Amino acid sequence: MMTPSHHAYVPFVSVDKMMKLVLTLGIERVLLDLVAEIEADFRRWPEFDKTARVASHSDVGVIELMPTSDGETYGFKYVNGHPSNMKNGLQTVTAFGLLADVATGYPVLLSEMTILTALRTAATSAMAAKWLAPAGATTMALIGNGAQAEFQALAFKAVCGITEVRLYDIDPAATAKCVENLAGRGLRTVACTTPEQAILGAQIITTVTADKQYATILTDNMVGAGVHINAVGGDCPGKTELHRDILLRSGIFVEYPPQSRIEGEIQQLPADHPVTELWQVIAGTATGRTDARQITLFDSVGFAIEDFSALRYVKSKLAETGLFDNLDMIADPNDPRDLFGMLLRAA
C-alpha cells in the first residue's frame, strides 16, 4: 500500500508579514541592504537572462510580467500600473513575485511586491545617485508625493546623505501626507507650492508622478548645470515627465536600453541616441559623472534584475525573522506518475 500523498510547501510572504519584516529589520537598513544586493547583481549583469518586460496595455493602464534568471534561480514579478485607480481608493501599482529553482522548476518563494517594489525602486534610485550625483549633495527636490515618495526620501537619506527634501505635488494633501510621514526621521522637509520652488537649491531632482501621458514636469529652463535628475515616473510608452531639451543636455544612464527606449524618457529621442548602461558604471567599465557641471539623468523604468535581487534578499531574511507562512502550492504525489491517484485520495 502506498503511503499518503504529501504536499510541497512554498514560503509565502504576505503583506502583513512583509510589513513586519521591514519594520523588524528597520526601513533604512532594508534600503541599504537592497542597494548592496542590487549592486552585487548589477556587477554580474552578463550572467542574467534579459528581456524587456512583457506588457499588456489598455486605455486605463498596463499589466506586466518581468522575468529573469541567473541560471540557478528564476524570478518574475507581476505588476500593474493604473493611474485612475486612486480615484476609486485603489493602489496605482500592485505586485507580487516568485522565485524558483532552475534545477527542478519548483517555486521557492512567493511574495507580495507592492511594498517591496516601492523599496527596491527607491533603493535603485539612491544606488544610481550614489554613482552619478554631484559630490556632497544634501538637498533633493521630490516632485510627486504619492505612494513612492517617502521611500525615495529615506533611501536618499540612508544611501546618499541627503538632509533636506523639498516636496511638491499638484495635490497639496499628498505633500502634507508626506511631511507627516517623514516627521522625526532625520530629514528637513519643505512643502512647496510650485515645482520651481521645490528645485531651489536642490542638487538632486526626483520626479515620481503617475499620470499616463506625455507630461512636462520639468522644463529645460528649470534645470541648471551640475544637477542629477532621477526620473522615475516615465515608465511606459506614452508616459514621460521631462522636456526633450533636458535630455539633449544630459548624460543619460539607463537600466536595459531595449526596454528604456520603449518606456523611458528616452522614447522622446532617436533610437541611436547614446546612453550608458548603469551596470557598466557600477562594474567599472563605463564612466559616470564626468565633471561638476554635467547634468546626469537616471532614466529609471524598473528592470527585472532589481526585483530578482529584492526577492532573494527577502528570502535570505526568512530564517532570521520567521516572518513567512508555508503555502500549500504544489501537488507532490509520492509517485510522480500518479497525480490522478493523489486527487482521488483526497476524497
pLDDT in tens, 224-258: 899 999 998 655 567 678 888 999 999 999 999 99
All residues at 6 or more sequence positions from 91 whose CB lies less than 8 Å from its CB, including other chains: 85, 114, 147
Q: CA–CA separation, 61 vs 67, rounded Å?
A: 20
The one catalytic residue among 33, 235, 299, 307? 235
Q: CA–CA separation, 310 vs 229, rounded Å?
A: 24
CA distances from 100 to 53, 216, 245, 314, 319 (A): 18, 41, 43, 14, 18
Indicate if 41 belongs to the active site: no
- Single out the residue of 249, 241, 251 nearest to residue 275, CA to CA: 251
pLDDT at 334: 85
- Single out the residue of 54, 45, 53, 107 nearest to residue 309, CA to CA: 45
Domains of the chain by residue range: 8-115+305-338, 124-302
CATH of the domain spanning 124-302, picked from 3.40.50.720, 3.40.47.10, 1.10.3470.10, 3.30.420.40: 3.40.50.720
CA distances from 155 to 19, 35, 191 (A): 17, 9, 19
pLDDT at 237: 67
Q: What percent of the chain has pLDDT over 90?
A: 77
pLDDT in tens, 65-74: 999 999 999 9
pLDDT in tens, 278-330: 999 999 999 999 999 999 999 999 999 999 999 999 999 999 999 999 999 99
pLDDT in tens, 17-34: 999 999 999 999 999 999
CATH class for the domain made up of 8-115+305-338: alpha beta
Enter the pTM of the model.
Answer: 0.93
Confidence of residue 3 (pLDDT cuts 50, 70, 90): very low
Q: What angle do CA 315, 316, 322 make, to 5 degrees?
A: 75
Q: Which amino acid is residue 116, in one-letter code?
A: L
